[in-house]
Structure formats: C-alpha cells, structure tokens
Amino acid sequence: MDLKNKTTADFILLGLFPSCRYPNLLIFLILFIYTLASAGNSILILLIWLDPRLHTPMYFLLSQLSLIDLAYISSTVPKAATNYFTGRQNISFFACATQMFSFLTLGLAECILLTLMAYGRYVAVCNPLRYTILMSPKVCLKMAASTWIGAVGAALVHTIYPMNFPICGSRKINHYFCEMPAILRMSCVDTSVYEMVKFVSTIIFLLTPFTLILTSYTLIFLTVLRMNSPKGRNKDLATCSSHLTVVSLYFGQAIFIYMTPTSSHTPDQDQVGAVLGTIVTPMLNPLIYSLRNKEVVGALQKCSGRCCNRDSARSLQ
C-alpha cells in the first residue's frame, strides 16, 4: 500500500459498544457524564483563577489536572456523539492520527501529574517545614512544563509507529475513537517488536508512576496514623483513600490495556477500560480532589454570593 492511498483512505469508527441493545440510552448517559465532567472541571479552573486564596502549589497542580481532564474527555466524546447522531462513522487518516496523539498526550500528562501531586501531598504531610521550598511556584512551573514535554514526546513516538503499520482488508475500528490497540489489531504485519516497545514505555510512564504514588501514600498513611488528633487523622485517611481509589481506577485500566499484548484482550474490554479512564475518571477527579475541600467550597460560595449581589443591585436599578 503506498503512502498516498494510506493517508487518503478513511477509517470507520464502529462506535461505543456496537452490540449494545440500548444505544440511545448509552449515548445519552455518556453525554450526561460529559456535561458533569466539563462543568466540574471548568468551575474548578475558574475558581482557582479567581480566588487568591487558592493560588497555592496544590491548587495550581489541581488546575492543571482539571485542564487535562477537560481536554481529555473532549478529545473523544464529541466526535463519538457527532458520529452517532449524524450516522457518519468515517474519520480521516490525519484526523485519526491527531485524535490518537491528543489522547495519548493527555493520558500520559495525567499519569505524570498525578505522580507529582502525590509527591506534593507527601511533602505537605510528612515534611511540612520544607513545603514552601520543595513546592515553590518556580518548582511547580517546572513540574507542569516537564509534564507536558514528557507527555508530548512519548505520545509522538506512539502515534507515528502504529499509524505507519500497513493495514490489510477492512479499515473498521471496533471502538468509538482511534486508540492504539484498535489500530494495531488491524495491522497485517508482525507487531511483536512494537509490543515490546509499548511494554517498556508502559513500565516507564505507567507502572513506575503508579509505584511512586503508592509509595507516597503509604508514607502519608504511616504519618497520619501517628497523629494525635483523631478528627484530623480520620479526615486525612478519608481524603487519601478517595485519591487512591481514582488513581487505582485510572492506572489499573491503563496498565491492563497498554501493558498486556493487544491480542490478549477483546475490543469490548478495551472499550470498558477506555470509558473508565477517559470518561468516568475526568468526572470523578474534580469531585474527589477538590470540590470536597473546604477552601474550594468557600471560594464557590464567595463567587456565588458576588453574582447574587450583582444581580440584586441590577434589579434595584
């Protein structure tokens, strides 16, 4: 197959769980979750930007996480919904490559950022006297920059490689977006070498960060358990367990999809993992990481109070 034919032929996205008996219910459920995730992350970004009390290292990293989640879920759901309602399933070669690159960049950036956030929480709980030095604004900016640079570099490699494998026969992708395993499944050449590259990359970008996060939270748990205040101890334990739940959900599905050979799991299993990682997790992150915090709730009440006062003043005029 020559390059011209390869880059002009469209792929066909079969959509979200093509064999589902209730596709209308499924797509509206996904759109409802998308609305919640978009609203939650947008509100959080706005509050952190508007309220000076939230201009801290922790909330700066949280704003980056919300930005990633907002872009992450928007890289797949709108296209899937558009295809469903218009009845068009095609996606061009370059659009497919762009979607894969965006998806991988945002996913890898989230892995790195969750690791840095766990480190920041470890410093705050276990080494609070050095927090202002170890988590200074300059350090946080470097963290954010390294997150994006590392993610873009790795995503570029894992987009160019799969998209250059020759495809034989059908160009139907049994997925609702262009994901690496779905593209590899259509290839008619031996991809075992690339599978090994993917395995090593997964260790670097998924398994290693997950291990570091577990280590950070283990040290946090041990420190919290030695606290004298039962109220503070219970609060920190509840917060840490909530964080670990989301981290385990996200990393678990990512490791399953990318660390195991593509042939070892079905397209439906890939879709379940993708839904958990790219749709459910972006909805849960703002709820668990921030909207439960008193500082964020206070900022939300303050912002709402200002809006109500402005509306009252306008009505009196």
Tell me, what's the pLDDT at 17? Answer: 81
Is residue 214 one of the residues assigned to a domain?
Answer: yes
pLDDT value at 139 more than 80: yes
Tell me, what's the pLDDT at 309? Answer: 60
Strand partners, 12: 90, 172
Tell me, what's the pLDDT at 3? Answer: 44
Is residue 299 one of the residues assigned to a domain?
Answer: no
Is residue 304 one of the residues assigned to a domain?
Answer: no
Q: What is the CATH number of the domain that holds 26?
A: 1.20.1070.10
pLDDT value at 2 more than 90: no
Query: Domain containing 89: what range?
Result: 11-294
Amino acid at 228: N
Lowest-confidence pick of 10-14, 133-137, 199-203, 310-314 = 310-314
Q: Are 34 and 280 contacting, i.e. CB atoms less than 8 angstroms apart?
A: no
pLDDT digits (tens, 9 = 90+) for 212-239: 999 998 898 888 888 777 776 776 776 6
Rounded to 5°, the CA angle 94-96-100 comes to 115
Provide the Cα torsion 304, 309, 312, 317; round to 10°: -140
On the 0-12 / 13-18 / 19+ scale of CB atoms within 10 A, 133 is exposed
- When comparing pLDDT for 192 and 159, which is higher? 159
Total Cβ atoms within 10 A of residue 288: 18
- When comparing pLDDT for 191 and 12, which is higher? 12
Tell me, what's the pLDDT at 147? Answer: 92
Q: Are 262 and 186 contacting, i.e. CB atoms less than 8 angstroms apart?
A: no
Mean pLDDT of 50-71: 89
The overall average pLDDT reported for the chain is 84
152 Cβ neighbours under 8 A, 6+ residues apart: 105
What's the number of domains the chain is made of? 1
Tell me, what's the pLDDT at 5? Answer: 43
Is residue 309 one of the residues assigned to a domain?
Answer: no
pLDDT value at 294 more than 90: no
| DSSP-assigned states of every residue in the chain | --HHHHHHSPEEE--S-TT-S-HHHHHHHHHHHHHHHHHHHHHHHHHHHH-GGG-SHHHHHHHHHHHHHHHHHHTTHHHHHHHHHH---EE-HHHHHHHHHHHHHHHHHHHHHHHHHHHHHHHHHH-GGGHHHHT-HHHHHHHHHHHHHHHHHHHHHHHHHHHTS-B-S--EESSSS--HHHHHHTB-S--HHHHHHHHHHHIIIIIHHHHHHHHHHHHHHHHHHT-S-HHHHHHHHHHHHHHHHHHHHHHHHHHHHHHS-GGGS-HHHHHHHHHIIIIIHHHHHIIIIITTSHHHHHHHHHHHHHHHHHHHHHHH-
Predicted confidence band at 312 (pLDDT cuts at 50, 70, 90)? low
Strand partners, 13: 173
Task: Give the rounded percent of residues in the chain with a pLDDT score beyond 70.
Answer: 91
Is residue 201 one of the residues assigned to a domain?
Answer: yes
pLDDT digits (tens, 9 = 90+) for 240-269: 777 787 788 788 878 877 777 777 777 778
Lowest-confidence pick of 166-180, 185-199, 239-253, 266-280 = 239-253
Is residue 314 one of the residues assigned to a domain?
Answer: no
Predicted TM-score (pTM) of the model is 0.86
Q: How far apart are CA 218 and CA 212, in angstroms?
A: 10
Q: How far apart are CA 124 and CA 117, in angstroms?
A: 11
Is residue 3 one of the residues assigned to a domain?
Answer: no
Is residue 235 one of the residues assigned to a domain?
Answer: yes
pLDDT value at 59 more than 50: yes
Predicted confidence band at 182 (pLDDT cuts at 50, 70, 90)? confident
Provide the Cα torsion 42, 305, 58, 37; round to 10°: -20
